[in-house]
Amino acid sequence: MPTAANKNSKSKYDLTQGDIFKRLIFLALPVMGGQFMQMAYTLADIFWLGQLSSDAVAASSTAGMFIWMSMGLMLMVRIGTEIGVSQNIGTGDIKTARGYAQSAFSLAVILGLGFGSLMILGQVQLIGFFEIPSPQVIYYAQVYLAISGVSIPFMYASAVLAGCFSGYGNTRIPFIAQSTGLLVNIVLSPIMIFPLELGVAGAAYATIIARIIEISILVIAIKSNKNRPFEKFSLFAKPEWLYLRNIFKWGVPVAVEMTLFAMLAMIPARLVAEHGVYAMAVQRVGFQLESLSWLVGAGFGTAVTAFIGQNFGAEQWARIHKGFRIALASMSAWGLFASLFLFIFAEQLIGIFLRTPEEIALGGQLLRMLAICQIPQSIEGSMAACFRGRGITIKPSIVSISINLMRVPLAIYLNSTIGVFGIWWAMVVGGSIRGTWMLLWFLWDSRKLPKDNITKDIIPTT
């Protein structure tokens, strides 16, 4: 017989009842806190590498493109985990929810080993794509990429276990694991870069250690924490095709979207490299600072996916509609704040990480351009999450892929006419259109959902 504590714990993570705004905030704050921690680490890493040279910042930016690309496969299994767990938790089918989680974990480890090996063995060819004129930047980038490849399997495995907890409605444990790893990373990076004199390689080694600590915490939690989603969870379960099929169905559009996004972003990055190391360093810093909006949007989106997923499984249509409106209002307000922050403090923010007057002036112009698209980019993440909570992943992927394809020829054309600013204007225009289109499509599509909780109509999920 369940104890009172167990009942309270279940109610605490049950997103199908209670005040919607409080539930979303309770779920979203740890995820957004984790995203802030991630951004803080990345910026701290850039800060320390910037103390070495602009070459070191440019090298980490170049290698980071492939780490970014690896997140396509990672998101495939994480999104599949969150949807499978949240919807089946909503219907009360714990066995099926666990089946999705275990199959996703095995798949994540296999995919992580594969992509990590590609980064290690293909370092020369992958970095060679950018045709960087500086031999020093090329060398640093190859070293950073190869060492970072070791961390990929741990990153994939952590993402799935975090997705298990998030789908269940417990985002606190993933936040603790991620925060601990990031704090270790922040402390170790400067030690390894400077006193141990490992330079760029030191930053990558610190990341490996942090990833190992993060996955260790999550494994302990999934096996023994009182607020874990399942009483039993096997890390070595054989993947079941029934679950893998739906994980692929939900996750492949996201994987294609993210991978293409990263691949297509390499073309503008290559164009920026033609304008020199200063431009590469400015882009690295500027876009990391700009992630203030979309990382928080994506973090809030994790909460929205779990909320929509559980309520979709429980057929709580009125809560789904209200949850969407709260998500839209919250992310619009956040986007406005991010826009004003980047615009007003542009030079001061860039000046923290880069030193020369030329870099600060160029970076300030970039941040003011990026301020324009912060509201639609903030909205984009939560709207995509509203789709995904219902098991619809193709539509948000269509939006993202279409606009990202459009940005490449636009960047090439504008680069030939107004230089590096043309490349950045292509990014701003693309981000603005993408977020606006995502919102309008969800508004149109959500009309098919029932408005109350009485009807038992089956809502298509493709």
By the 10 Å C-beta count (0-12 exposed, 13-18 middle, 19+ buried), 8 is classed as: exposed
pLDDT in tens, 210-226: 999 999 999 999 999 88
Token digits for 258? 């993210």
Mean pLDDT of the region 294-301: 77
Token digits for 264? 């297509």
Alpha carbon 130 to its chain's center: 24
pLDDT in tens, 246-264: 999 988 888 888 888 777 7
> Which DSSP letter does residue 212 get?
H
Q: What is the pLDDT of residue 434?
A: 92
* Whole-angstrom distance, CA of residue 218 vs CA of residue 170: 12
Q: How confident is the model at residue 454 (pLDDT cuts 50, 70, 90)?
A: very low
Token digits for 317? 């249509």
Three-state secondary-structure class, residue 256? helix
412, 443 contact by CB (below 8 A): no
Q: What is the pLDDT of residue 11?
A: 58
> Residue 296 region, left (φ>0) first, then alpha (ψ -120 to 50), else beta?
alpha
301, 27 contact by CB (below 8 A): no
pLDDT in tens, 333-365: 989 999 999 999 999 988 888 778 888 899 999
> How far from each other are the two terminal CA atoms of the chain, in whole angstroms?
39
Three-state secondary-structure class, residue 453? coil
377, 431 contact by CB (below 8 A): yes
Alpha carbon 359 to its chain's center: 28
> Which DSSP letter does residue 419 get?
T
Mean pLDDT of the region 109-120: 95
Token digits for 423? 């490349």
414, 422 contact by CB (below 8 A): yes
Share of the chain above pLDDT 90, in %: 38
Q: What is the pLDDT of residue 2?
A: 37
Q: What is the pLDDT of residue 221?
A: 95
174, 218 contact by CB (below 8 A): yes
What sign has the CA pseudo-torsion 226, 232, 234, 239? negative
Question: Which secondary structure element, helix H or strand E, spans residue 76, and what is its range?
Answer: helix 54-91
What sign has the CA pseudo-torsion 105, 106, 111, 113? positive
**Poorest-confidence range of 61-75, 147-161, 419-433?**
61-75
Higher pLDDT, 61 or 271: 271
Q: What is the DSSP string of 344-368?
A: HTHHHHHHHH--SHHHHHHHHHHHH
Q: Of 63, 124, 54, whose CA–CA distance to 280 is shortest?
A: 54
Question: Which secondary structure element, helix H or strand E, spans residue 289, and what is its range?
Answer: helix 277-313
* Whole-angstrom distance, CA of residue 307 vs CA of residue 312: 8
Three-state secondary-structure class, residue 31? helix
pLDDT in tens, 36-85: 776 776 777 777 887 777 788 888 878 888 888 888 889 889 988 989 99
Higher pLDDT, 34 or 332: 332
| Highest mean pLDDT, choosing among 29-38, 99-108, 437-446 | 99-108
* Whole-angstrom distance, CA of residue 184 vs CA of residue 211: 10
Mean pLDDT of the region 149-167: 93
Residue type, 57: V
DSSP H helices in 314-419? 317-344, 346-353, 357-370, 374-389, 394-418
| Model confidence, pTM | 0.73
Q: What is the pLDDT of residue 6?
A: 40
* Whole-angstrom distance, CA of residue 194 vs CA of residue 52: 9
Query: Interior CA angle at 148 toward 144 and 152, to 5°?
Result: 160
* Whole-angstrom distance, CA of residue 426 vs CA of residue 432: 10
Rg (CA), the chain: 22
Instruction: Say yes or no to pLDDT of 155 above 90.
Output: yes
